[in-house]
């Protein structure tokens, strides 16, 4: 039974702070069973990741504001994080497509 793991991350510069202040996010999908329903496993994993991300959005924005000593509205952290989630969905969709393609290769289809 083959299993696949993938780790992806993105680090982007803060638009108002120059090159030394960064935002970083990572996601790892581990032990996707190539003999099982790959799409269902990915969908389940990304669904859980989405719930976790949603619950962390506000505390993350507040923490960033606390560290920077600026108001959340002044930094625009919440808006930037919202845009990141939109972009992240496109990335998640591409991961599902690529893993599905790999599954078909493993299955010889």
> Both tokens of residue 88?
């992240």
pTM for this model (two decimals): 0.47
pLDDT at residue 14, as a whole number: 66
Q: How far apart are CA 92 and CA 43, in angstroms?
A: 9
Q: How far apart are CA 36 and CA 56, in angstroms?
A: 31
Residue 29 DSSP code? E
Average pLDDT of the chain to the nearest whole number: 75
Percentage of the chain modeled with pLDDT above 90: 2
Decide: 106 and 34 in contact? Cβ < 8 Å.
Answer: yes
For residue 97, what are the CA distances in angstroms to 2, 42, 43? 18, 10, 11
* Residue 72 clears pLDDT 60, i.e. is over it: no
The pLDDT of 16-30, averaged and rounded, is 73
Q: How confident is the model at residue 106 (pLDDT cuts 50, 70, 90)?
A: confident
Q: How confident is the model at residue 58 (pLDDT cuts 50, 70, 90)?
A: confident
pLDDT at residue 40, as a whole number: 92
* Residue 22 clears pLDDT 80, i.e. is over it: no
Q: How far apart are CA 26 and CA 44, in angstroms?
A: 17
- Three-state DSSP class for residue 2: coil
* Residue 6 clears pLDDT 70, i.e. is over it: yes
């Amino acid at each position: 039974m083959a299993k696949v793991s993938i780790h992806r991350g993105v680090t982007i510069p803060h638009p108002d702070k120059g090159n030394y202040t960064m935002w970083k996010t990572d996601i790892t999908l581990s032990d996707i069973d190539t003999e099982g329903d790959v799409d269902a496993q990915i969908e389940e994993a990304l669904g859980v990741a989405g719930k976790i991300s949603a619950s962390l959005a506000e505390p993350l924005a507040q923490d960033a504001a606390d560290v920077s000593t600026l108001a959340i509205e002044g930094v625009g952290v919440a808006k930037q994080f919202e845009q990141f989630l939109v972009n992240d969905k496109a990335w998640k969709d591409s991961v599902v497509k690529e893993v599905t393609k790999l599954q078909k290769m493993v299955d010889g289809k």
